[in-house]
């Protein structure tokens, strides 16, 4: 199968599996796992933060990040289409008693500054306490500009808000803009980073921030069931990805651009956006279901649930891209 549904479908390489097998292990809930400890220290340094904490998933890392910032009855400002708000089961509200204050994302994924300012509540018993601004980078493949991030986080600080970034694909942003992870994390109090997307680990995310924030997060992580025992097996995969897979994201971006270029040649397909490793298209209504079925029949999977999206990742080669375009061409030739 050529699986373009998401970059989460990547499988660990043989070298990554070897690194996992060779990892020295201990009980991480006791703080005893040397591989976890080394990975967290390396990542914190690379992100320019005091501390890092390993999580099984990005959903849990975001949830615990929000819970480490906000108390019961607080609210966080977030985009309508942000993963934390839309695709994480409402965890902040359900498990954290944190009220989301969603505002509409601009087409580039940013949250308009005037809308952020307007959403901040006055200190009044009628209102939840506005405590946090959460952004996402990349969002829908788009990289938030450094200038925007600076302005949005400064605005948050002016209003006394903390800032969290869902950086599930922040390494894609780093590679696409040739910017260090440290620079991209610098404006935020906390950042959630995923290793199980384009970086190819079977699982593993991390939250980075101040020592105090990570200490609070460690308690919440335990409470929500994220205290893992011999977690070095996961940390070793994440460390391997950090050491060997980051630069490869540039290939994904180049291949996504080629895919978008090829798709744009079909009159029934409109490429609505392509950025980093994601391509969004609109397909003439009459062709959506039959084309998806044709693709599946010919070994290609695409995402149709949220939007018509194709995501390029390290298990997709140059020839896979050409093959997908060829299969689509054959569909339209016979349609």
Ligand X SMILES: Cc1ncc(COP(=O)(O)O)c(C=O)c1O
To ligand X, the closest distance from the beta carbon of 36 in angstroms equals: 17
> Which of residues 43, 53, 103, 194 is near ligand X by CB under 6 A?
194
Between 82 and 328, CB nearer to ligand X = 82
**Binding status of residue 83 toward ligand X by CB under 6 A:** yes
Q: Determine the interface stretch with ligand X among 52-60, 125-133, 170-178, 304-312 (rule: CB under 6 A).
A: 52-60
Between 56 and 262, CB nearer to ligand X = 56
Binding residues for ligand X restricted to 106-165, rule: CB under 6 A: 136
Between 69 and 294, CB nearer to ligand X = 69
Q: Determine the interface stretch with ligand X among 51-59, 71-79, 220-228, 325-333 (rule: CB under 6 A).
A: 51-59
> Which of residues 28, 36, 58, 213 is near ligand X by CB under 6 A?
58
User: CB of 6 within 8 A of CB of 311?
Assistant: yes
Between 40 and 59, CB nearer to ligand X = 59
> Which of residues 196, 274, 277, 308 is near ligand X by CB under 6 A?
196
**Binding status of residue 205 toward ligand X by CB under 6 A:** yes
Binding residues for ligand X restricted to 314-333, rule: CB under 6 A: none
Between 166 and 320, CB nearer to ligand X = 166
DSSP state of 306: S
> Which of residues 135, 168, 175, 217 is near ligand X by CB under 6 A?
168
# residues contacting ligand X (CB under 6 A)? 12
Nearest-angstrom CA–CA distance, 308 and 233: 35
**Binding status of residue 35 toward ligand X by CB under 6 A:** no
Between 7 and 328, CB nearer to ligand X = 7
Which residue of the chain is nearest ligand X when measured via CB?
Answer: 58
To ligand X, the closest distance from the beta carbon of 61 in angstroms equals: 8
User: 97, 117, 125, 202: which is closest to 157 by C-alpha?
Assistant: 117
* Three-state DSSP class for residue 205: strand
213-242 burial, b for 16+ CB within 10 Å, e for fewer? Answer: bbebbbebbeeeebbbebbbbbbbbbbbbb
> Which of residues 37, 42, 57, 273 is near ligand X by CB under 6 A?
57
**Binding status of residue 166 toward ligand X by CB under 6 A:** yes
- Whether the bond between 138 and the residue before it is cis, its omega within 30 degrees of 0, is yes
Which uninterrupted H or E stretch holds 324?
helix 318-334
Question: Could you tell me the CA-to-CA distances from 132 to 162, 189, 254 in Å, in that order?
Answer: 5, 10, 35
132-153 burial, b for 16+ CB within 10 Å, e for fewer? Answer: bbbbbbbbbbbbbeeebbeebb
Nearest-angstrom CA–CA distance, 262 and 283: 14
Between 87 and 222, CB nearer to ligand X = 87
- Biggest CA–CA distance in the chain, Å, is 65
Q: Concatenated DSSP letters for 14-73? A: HHHHHHHHH-----GGGT--HHHHHHHHHHHHHHTSSEEEEES-HHHHHHHHHHHH--TT
Interface ranges with ligand X (CB under 6 A): 8, 57-59, 62, 83, 136, 166, 168, 194, 196, 205
């Amino acid at each position: 199968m050529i699986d373009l549904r998401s970059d989460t479908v990547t499988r660990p390489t043989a070298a990554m599996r070897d690194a996992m097998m060779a990892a020295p292990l201990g009980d991480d809930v006791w703080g005893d796992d040397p591989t976890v400890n080394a990975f967290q220290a390396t990542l914190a340094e690379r992100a320019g933060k005091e501390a890092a904490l390993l999580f099984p998933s990005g959903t849990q890392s975001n949830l615990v990040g929000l819970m480490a910032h906000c108390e019961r009855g607080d609210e966080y400002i977030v985009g309508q289409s942000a993963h934390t708000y839309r695709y994480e089961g409402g965890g902040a509200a359900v498990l954290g008693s944190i009220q989301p204050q969603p505002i509409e994302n601009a087409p580039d994924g940013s949250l308009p500054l005037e809308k952020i300012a307007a959403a901040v509540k006055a200190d009044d018993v009628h209102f939840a306490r506005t405590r946090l601004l959460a952004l996402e980078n990349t969002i829908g493949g788009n990289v938030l500009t450094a200038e925007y991030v600076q302005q949005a986080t400064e605005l948050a600080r002016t209003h006394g808000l903390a800032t969290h970034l869902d950086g599930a694909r922040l390494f894609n942003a780093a590679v696409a803009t040739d910017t260090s992870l440290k620079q991209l994390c610098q404006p935020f109090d906390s950042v959630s980073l995923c290793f199980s997307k384009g970086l190819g680990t079977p699982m593993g995310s991390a939250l980075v921030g101040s020592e105090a924030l990570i200490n609070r997060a460690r308690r919440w992580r335990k409470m929500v069931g994220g205290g893992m025992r011999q977690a070095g097996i996961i940390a070793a995969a994440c460390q391997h990805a950090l050491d060997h897979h980051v630069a490869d994201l540039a290939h994904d971006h180049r291949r996504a651009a080629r895919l978008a270029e090829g798709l744009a040649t079909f009159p029934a397909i409109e490429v609505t956006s392509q950025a980093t490793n994601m391509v969004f298209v609109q397909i003439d209504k009459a062709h959506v279901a039959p084309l998806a079925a044709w693709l599946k029949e010919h070994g290609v999977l695409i995402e149709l649930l949220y939007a018509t999206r194709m995501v390029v990742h390290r298990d997709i080669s140059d020839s896979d891209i050409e093959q997908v375009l060829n299969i689509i061409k054959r569909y339209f030739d016979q349609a």
